[in-house]
Amino acid sequence: MPHVVTEKCLGERYAHCAEVCPVEAFRPGTHNGEPLMVIDPEVCIDCGACLPECPIGAIVGSVDENPEWAKTNAELAPKFKDNPKAEKRPGNDPPRKPGNQLVK
Ligand code: SF4
């Protein structure tokens, strides 16, 4: 049961998560013309380290919490695999999307 990046990340991509993942499960890319990060479900070991790192709380701890986006993560991860690392945004950079809020 891997962790899942949700739709909140689309257009945001703070990229703090990727820095703490011990197995490099994060894959950055562009989806529908917007920046995104996804988790490769084949690589994630469910350690939980990334979950509190996202400034807007875009990660959930199980597929059951967002099955639709779990599918999106699984579909996009192989496509994003060879993309260069995403640049990290400052944690206090205001969210770009309406409805997103800083949670830490
Ligand atoms: S739960 Fe752990 S292994 Fe899985 S993506 Fe997050 S930091 Fe990486």
* pLDDT, tens digit, 9 for 90 and up, residues 53-79: 999 999 999 999 999 999 999 999 999
Statement: residue 1 has pLDDT above 90: no
3-state secondary structure of 60: strand
- Kind and range of the H or E run holding 29: strand 26-31
Q: Which atom of ligand 1 is nearest to the CA of 61?
A: 1
The rounded Å distance from CA 98 to ligand 1 centre is 27
In a mutational test of the pocket of ligand 1, which residue from 27, 46, 63 has the highest number of ligand atoms less than 8 Å from its CB? 46
Please give the domain boundaries of the chain with CATH numbers for all domains.
4-80 (3.30.70.20)
Model confidence band, residue 15 (pLDDT cutoffs 50, 70, 90) = very high
The answer for 56, left when phi > 0, alpha when psi is -120 to 50, beta otherwise, is alpha
Phi then psi for 3, rounded to 5 degrees? -70, 160
Q: Which of 50, 33, 35, 42 is nearest to 75 (CA)?
A: 42
C-alpha angle with apex 32: 30 to 33, nearest 5 degrees? Answer: 60
